[in-house]
Chain A
Amino acid sequence: MGAPPPLDVNQEVAAEESEAELMRQVAAGEIGGLETLYDRHHAMAYALALRITTEPGLAEDVVQDSFLGLWRNAGRYAEAKGSVRGWLLAIVRHRAIDTIRRQKKGVTLDDDTSDIVPAALTLPDIWPEVAGRLDAEEIRVALEGLPSAQREAIEFAYFDGLTQREIATRTGAPLGTVKSRMRLGLVALRRELLGVTDVIDARRST
């Protein structure tokens, strides 16, 4: 068995273009486009839903509702700048967290329960810039390279849907400390994954 073929960047770009075309098909009501997108992304969508909800039945509901949300809102995607994958995973996360929050008594829900993903989750992602360059293992290594308190703060928020205040309560850390850990962790991850420093770093110290 020989070495794997070198990454063809053009191929990655072509794949992204193909996804954009699939989204146009979905927006036009073509079931085939949805089938292809499902076949490409269902395992990651389900993994994320399962990680957040921890229940297979709920995770299935979340994935189905998420693809349905993608199906019904594909026309809006055309105006976005992010990848289909990032967009879909944002929908999955939003619905999964919405589901678990609704299961908690006394929790006030965000007002957004519609098909529309919150703005914070539809921000253009930079997935196309690095698709193919990083695999899951590399990303896990980057996460594990963070100080544990920073990683914990990010994972509590991302995978458990906890607010900063809830994280402070759970960990016993002051709220300000939780906010700081979250910021430092995200900046460090960005630096580690993309090898960039940017405006965030400069502003952090001011």
Chain B
Amino acid sequence: MTIRCDRVRELAPGFVLGALDAADMAAVHQHLIGCRDPHPELRELGGVLPYLATSLEPVEPPARLRAAVIAAAQADLAAHPRSAEVAGSRVATIRRTIPAPESGAVEAEAAEQVNGAMVVSLTSARRSRRRRALAWTTRVAAAAAVVAVVAYGFGVIHEPGAGPSAGPSFDYKGQGTVYAGLTPQASSHAAGLAVLKPSGHLYVYVNGLAPTTGDQVYMVWVTAAKDTILAGYFTVNAQGDGSIQMDNVPRAASLWVQVCIEPNEHVTQPTGPTVASGTIFT
């Protein structure tokens, strides 16, 4: 639907408040794309909006939220390092060369060689079984996570082109990709990121996890509609990081992702405490 400038001015109050019907919102958007009129009324009316929020009394959220935000950002940075051009503006940093995984056929062992703090620390006996849950692309992502998170811990910049970004890491900023932060639950300090690709692949990164002992594993459960299914599982060493990839994620309006610590890898439904969770709206 094409509308004229007069109509945009008429719709301006509802537009800046996002209170128009979908068709009118779309029509105004469409008009603004090609219109030469700067439509100052939109700026003038829209300028009031920040005041509305500021009329509220600030409310202190739970302290764990800060850790969750930072952990999610770290996970995002790990999976999608910033470009050299942007990073060039950084100040006062320490640089260190980080060994790069082989481009192409990256193995989990390559990640282990990066710094000895592999996210998924597997014994030889378990490795073959776990391969179903941890595809090679996950290992690449895991390596990326380890490099970036550990690098951050040392105040080291990820060297563009020298680390996982040079390999076949995935890009989840593409069209149709949705994500959610995983917020710590109960007394946990774990937090992370769940990313759903349009292809139906789900990637989950978590850090701040307590190390697993004995047969303990962290299991990632996905609830779509009323069905809860296992997305994958992993053990954790002192580094406290973990990740999984799930293929063929069921389609649903929303996916509730929860990370639970379970007594062993044979449980078929969540039984242990949830350490982090979040909802992806598809």
Residues of A at the B interface (CB closer than 8 Å) are 24-25, 27-31, 34-35, 38-39, 42-44, 46-48, 50-51, 56, 59-61, 63-65, 67-68, 71-72, 75, 83, 85-86, 89-90, 92-94, 97-99, 102, 108, 110-111, 113, 118-121, 123-127, 134, 136, 139-140, 142-143, 154-155, 157-159, 161-165, 167, 179, 182-183, 186-187, 189-190, 193-194, 198-200, 203
The interface on chain B, measured as residues whose beta carbon lies within 8 A of the other chain's beta carbons, has a size of 72
1/0 contact trace for B51-95 toward A, CB 8 Å? 111111111111001101110111011000110001111110000
Also in contact, A119 and B48, with CB within 8 A (given A28-B87, A29-B82, A43-B59): no
Instruction: Give B77 Cβ to nearest chain A Cβ, in Å.
Output: 5
Q: Which residues of A contact B18 (CB under 8 A)?
A: 94, 97, 110, 118, 120-121, 157, 161
Quick one: which of A30, A98, A143 contacts B55, CB cutoff 8 A? Answer: A143
Q: Is the CB of A28 within 8 A of B82?
A: yes
Interface membership of B173, Cβ < 8 A: yes
User: Residue of B at shortest CB range from A144?
Assistant: B55
Instruction: Give B189 Cβ to nearest chain A Cβ, in Å.
Output: 14
Interface membership of B9, Cβ < 8 A: yes
Of B108-116, B127-135, B175-183, B259-267, the stretch lying at the interface with chain A is: B175-183
Also in contact, A29 and B87, with CB within 8 A (given A63-B69, A158-B49, A200-B41): yes
Q: Is the CB of B56 within 8 A of A68?
A: no
Interface residues of B in 7-54 (CB under 8 A from A): 9, 12-22, 25-26, 28-29, 32, 40-54
Interface residues of B in 158-178 (CB under 8 A from A): 158, 173, 178
Q: Which residues of A contact B152 (CB under 8 A)?
A: 31
Q: Which residues of A contact B17 (CB under 8 A)?
A: 120, 154, 157-158, 182, 186
